[in-house]
């Protein structure tokens, strides 16, 4: 049997922080209490009880000198004020995510909005949130939301603010929001579901889909654990909800190939390990390894490492103070459009604003990091009050990048960066977090063109000057562009041959042709080689910047000149004409020009024929316009095809008389 433990299983940041604060307080406080069980896990509560941390019931009367820990669920305004009035010392372990909801509902209530809380009515977190509101309503399900709005039509025009329990089910919350948006015209919405909760639920859903059975570890009264079990049950037919290893029996999974394990936010690592170990012991999982003497069977528990510490040791290791400027390593816990949540394994919650992740303004966070990735960062700011740490990957990369910048200056190797701003006299390019100044003359942009065309683009440049004392770096985009163009040009000259095709870019237009860049070298396409049809000037069919296919007509390496063509022989009108018509064929032609000696008619686009004046009618006429008009379509017989001069003679008269008279002797000269 294969056992897979979810990466996100177990303690979330808020729970870990609350337990750590209790551990720390137990070392110095004689009478220490928590308002109810600090987390929904009997084993952890019992462990803290042995250290002198007692869970106080709702009727407990506190005395002056007591120390009370507010658990991660938080409390309401009135209970908080009552504790202060009783003269007890308060240690606030409210999860920062819950504290943000308190601040949000308080602010929205003060602005006159009614608060809508999506969550479990009796959950301590929800009752605590409600006490920070003015007017509020608690709704648990989409159906209840719809029924409440139907029975309270006045809600549809009221100003509302909608929040969610942090451990709420995202699908449930989004359906409630959808109903409110449909019915109410003045509502604002705050997605307050904890990022770790969303990640844990999504991972459990995916894991259940790939496993034959699932074990969900958590307290029976833990809302987020019960929700995990519900989510797993959607994708897996066999789900066991257990509080500890004693609740798991391997016989329940007999005959299954793969079993997944996930755990609620209140489940410590040692309980997850015990369940995993029990599955191993009772199923006798065997892993074969190869030796010089042959195959040897050895039995080892899945997902176990030799250096795993006890629960107490893990807690002790995680109690650490962070300082600004320190380098820290954490694990990506969640990704949002604005920030990356990082689990540092400490009592503080780490986050990286998107602007501190990368210099690339077009990059998406999910393309750079994934949930579960280990990431090294730089501590920008520590907020012990809120229990948060602002981190920067970009700043750490910048510190490391100075060595790379100095090395690039010595080696003259190009580096890549992003143009972030136009500065006086040039541009600022961020290279691995280091500001590099590029003078306008080194930007590669023509003198009269705006530098702004390079803003927010990736460029390659050469470092030309480094002054670490002044933190000044100067670079050149033009130098790299020149070298790259020269290398490409050399490669083209080494491989060029008549008839070779290139995809080029139109660089400039003249009255006689177009200059096309074929990748480092400009070649010229004469106006006569641009199109099979007659054009007055190249700008009739091209503009600067167009991509066109060209081929080499001729070249001179000494003079560095290349003549190009772009007329495809398959599109040659004369070839199309001769393959479709012969002498004697009748064609429907369009009169395009009238001359004293006859009329020119288009047979197909690009091929015209001459109808001599003597071949227009079966009688003598003075001028062609007595019978024909420009734009008119008539039937004519092909009487002569001159392949050498690519000329065609036509006759309308031949169709009228049933035979063609010879055209006038000077008709060809007249046509010319």
Q: Considering Cα of 322, then 328, then 332, then 337, what sign does the dihedral take?
A: positive
For residue 190, report the phi and psi dihedrals to the nearest 5 degrees: -125, 115
Res 670: pLDDT: 39
Report pLDDT digits (tens) over 549-600: 888 888 888 888 888 888 877 778 888 898 899 999 999 999 999 999 999 9
Q: How far apart, in Å, are the Cα atoms of 630 and each of 404, 593, 637, 652?
A: 73, 6, 19, 15
Report pLDDT digits (tens) over 183-220: 998 999 988 887 777 778 888 888 999 899 999 998 88
Whether the Cβ atoms of residue 478 and residue 505 lie closer than 8 Å to each other: no
Cα separation, 47 vs 62, whole angstroms: 22
Q: Is 78 or 366 the better-scoring residue by pLDDT?
A: 78
Cα separation, 166 vs 61, whole angstroms: 29
Res 295: pLDDT: 36
- The answer for residues whose C-beta is within 8 angstroms of residue 645's C-beta and 6 or more apart is none
Give the residues across from 289 on adjacent strands: 296
Q: What angle do CA 362, 368, 374 make, to 5 degrees?
A: 155
What is the overall mean pLDDT for the chain?
83
Cα separation, 464 vs 286, whole angstroms: 61
Query: Which residue in 630, 627, 602 sits closest to 615, CA to CA?
Result: 627
Q: Decide if pLDDT at 313 tops 90.
A: no
Q: Decide if pLDDT at 264 tops 90.
A: no
Local confidence band at 298 (pLDDT 50, 70, 90 cut-offs): very low
Q: Which string of DSSP letters, residue by residue, matches 599-647?
A: EEEEEETTEEEEEEGGGT-SS--S-GGGT--TT-EEEEEEEEEETTTTE
Using the 8-state DSSP alphabet, how is residue 583 labeled?
T
Cα separation, 466 vs 475, whole angstroms: 9
Q: How far apart, in Å, are the Cα atoms of 393 and each of 121, 345, 403?
A: 41, 17, 17
Local confidence band at 384 (pLDDT 50, 70, 90 cut-offs): low
Overall residue count recorded for the chain in this entry: 672
Q: Which string of DSSP letters, residue by residue, matches 262-325?
A: EE-TT--HHHHHHHHHHHHHHHT--EEEEETTEEEEE---TT--TTPPPHHHHHHHH-----TT
Three-state SS at 190: coil
Query: Which residue in 217, 266, 221 sits closest to 246, CA to CA?
Result: 217
- The answer for residues whose C-beta is within 8 angstroms of residue 550's C-beta and 6 or more apart is 501, 502, 503, 504, 516, 518, 523, 525, 564, 565, 566
- The answer for residues whose C-beta is within 8 angstroms of residue 44's C-beta and 6 or more apart is 19, 38, 266, 268
Report pLDDT digits (tens) over 112-161: 999 999 999 988 899 999 999 999 999 999 999 999 999 998 888 899 99
| CB atoms closer than 10 angstroms to residue 252 | 13
Q: Is 364 or 662 the better-scoring residue by pLDDT?
A: 364
Q: Average pLDDT in the 93-114 region?
A: 90
For residue 102, report the phi and psi dihedrals to the nearest 5 degrees: -55, -45
Whose tokens are 């380098």? That residue is 327
Res 268: pLDDT: 84
- The answer for residues whose C-beta is within 8 angstroms of residue 410's C-beta and 6 or more apart is none
Cα separation, 162 vs 116, whole angstroms: 5
Q: Decide if pLDDT at 299 tops 80.
A: no
Question: How many secondary structure helices (H) and strands (E) does the chain include?
Answer: 17, 34
Q: Which string of DSSP letters, residue by residue, matches 43-103?
A: HHHHHHHHTTEEEE-TT----TT-EEEE-TT---HHHHHHHHHTT-EEEE---HHHHHHHH
Q: Is 25 or 535 the better-scoring residue by pLDDT?
A: 25
Question: For residue 20, what are its two tokens?
Answer: 């750590």
Q: Average pLDDT in the 621-643 region?
A: 92
Cα separation, 118 vs 139, whole angstroms: 5
Local confidence band at 320 (pLDDT 50, 70, 90 cut-offs): low
Res 658: pLDDT: 59
Q: Decide if pLDDT at 317 tops 50.
A: no
Cα separation, 581 vs 589, whole angstroms: 13
The catalytic residue among 23, 125, 356, 529 is 125
CA 552 from chain centre, in angstroms, equals: 42
Res 315: pLDDT: 43
Whether the Cβ atoms of residue 191 and residue 163 lie closer than 8 Å to each other: no
Using the 8-state DSSP alphabet, how is residue 606 labeled?
T
Whose tokens are 């009238």? That residue is 594
Cα separation, 19 vs 37, whole angstroms: 11
Q: Average pLDDT in the 483-510 region?
A: 85
Work out the end-to-end distance of the chain between its first and last CA atoms, rounded to an integer number of angstroms. 92
Does the active-site annotation cover 125? yes
Using the 8-state DSSP alphabet, how is residue 196 labeled?
H
Whose tokens are 């690519």? That residue is 646
Three-state SS at 140: coil
Local confidence band at 310 (pLDDT 50, 70, 90 cut-offs): very low
Report pLDDT digits (tens) over 599-623: 999 998 888 999 999 999 988 999 9
- The answer for residues whose C-beta is within 8 angstroms of residue 250's C-beta and 6 or more apart is 278, 279, 282, 283
């Amino acid at each position: 049997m294969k056992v897979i433990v979810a990466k996100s299983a177990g303690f979330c940041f808020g729970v870990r922080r609350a337990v750590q604060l209790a551990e720390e307080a137990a070392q110095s406080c004689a009478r220490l209490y928590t308002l109810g069980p600090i987390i929904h896990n009997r084993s952890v509560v019992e462990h803290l009880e042995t250290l002198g941390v007692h869970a106080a019931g709702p009727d407990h009367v506190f005395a002056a000198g007591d120390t009370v820990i507010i658990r991660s669920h938080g409390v309401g305004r009135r209970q908080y004020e009552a504790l202060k009035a009783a003269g007890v010392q308060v240690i606030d372990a409210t999860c920062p995510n819950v504290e943000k909801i308190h601040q949000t509902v308080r602010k929205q209530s003060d602005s006159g909005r009614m608060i809508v809380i999506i969550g479990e009515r009796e959950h301590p977190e929800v009752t605590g949130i409600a006490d920070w509101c003015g007017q509020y309503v608690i709704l648990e399900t989409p159906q209840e939301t719809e029924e409440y709005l139907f029975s309270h039509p006045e809600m549809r025009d009221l100003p509302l603010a909608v929040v969610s329990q942090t451990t709420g089910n995202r699908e449930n919350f989004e359906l409630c929001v959808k109903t409110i948006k449909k019915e109410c015209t003045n509502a604002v919405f705050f997605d307050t579901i904890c990022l770790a909760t969303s990640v844990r639920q999504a991972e459990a859903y995916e894991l259940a889909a790939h496993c034959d059975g699932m074990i969900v570890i958590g307290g029976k009264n833990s809302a987020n654990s019960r929700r995990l079990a519900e989510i797993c049950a959607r994708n897996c037919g066999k789900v066991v909800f257990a509080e500890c290893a004693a609740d798991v029996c391997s016989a329940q999974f007999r005959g299954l190939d793969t079993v997944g394990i996930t755990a609620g936010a209140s489940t410590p690592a040692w309980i997850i390990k015990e369940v995993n170990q029990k599955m191993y012991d009772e199923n006798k999982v065997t892993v074969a390894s190869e030796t010089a003497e042959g195959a040897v069977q050895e039995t080892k528990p899945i997902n176990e490492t030799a250096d795993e510490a006890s629960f107490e040791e893990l807690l002790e290791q995680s109690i650490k103070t962070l300082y600004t400027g320190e380098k820290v390593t954490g694990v990506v816990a969640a990704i949002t459009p604005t920030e990356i949540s990082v689990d540092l394994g400490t009592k503080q919650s780490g986050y990286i604003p998107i602007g501190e992740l990368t210099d690339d303004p077009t990059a998406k966070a999910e393309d750079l990091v994934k949930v579960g990735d280990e990431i090294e960062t730089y501590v920008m700011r520590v907020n012990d009050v809120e229990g948060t740490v602002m981190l920067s990957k970009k700043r750490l990369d910048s510190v490391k990048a100075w060595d790379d910048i100095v090395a690039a200056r010595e080696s003259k190797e190009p580096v890549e960066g992003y143009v972030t701003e136009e500065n006086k006299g040039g541009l600022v390019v961020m290279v691995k977090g280091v500001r590099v100044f590029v003078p306008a003359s080194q930007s590669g942009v023509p003198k009269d063109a705006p530098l702004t065309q390079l803003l927010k683009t990736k460029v390659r440049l050469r470092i030309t000057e480094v002054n670490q004392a002044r933190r000044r770096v100067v670079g050149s985009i033009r130098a790299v562009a020149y070298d790259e163009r020269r290398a490409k040009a050399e490669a083209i000259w080494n491989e060029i041959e008549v008839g070779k095709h290139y995809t080029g870019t139109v660089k400039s237009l003249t009255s006689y042709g177009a200059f096309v860049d074929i990748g480092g070298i400009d070649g010229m396409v004469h106006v006569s080689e641009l199109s099979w049809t007659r054009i007055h000037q190249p700008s009739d069919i091209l503009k600067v910047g167009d991509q066109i296919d060209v081929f080499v007509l001729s070249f001179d390496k000494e003079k560095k000149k290349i003549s190009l063509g772009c007329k495809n022989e398959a599109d040659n009108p004369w070839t199309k004409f001769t393959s479709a018509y012969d002498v004697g064929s009748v064609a429907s032609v369009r009169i395009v020009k009238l001359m004293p000696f006859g009329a020119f008619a288009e047979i197909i686009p690009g091929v015209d024929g001459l109808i001599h004046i003597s071949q227009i009618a079966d009688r003598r006429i003075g001028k062609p316009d007595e019978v024909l008009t420009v734009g008119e379509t008539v039937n004519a017989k092909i009487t002569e095809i001159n392949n050498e001069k690519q000329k065609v003679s036509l006759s309308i008269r031949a169709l009228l008389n049933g035979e063609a008279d010879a055209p006038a002797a000077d008709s060809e000269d007249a046509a010319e």
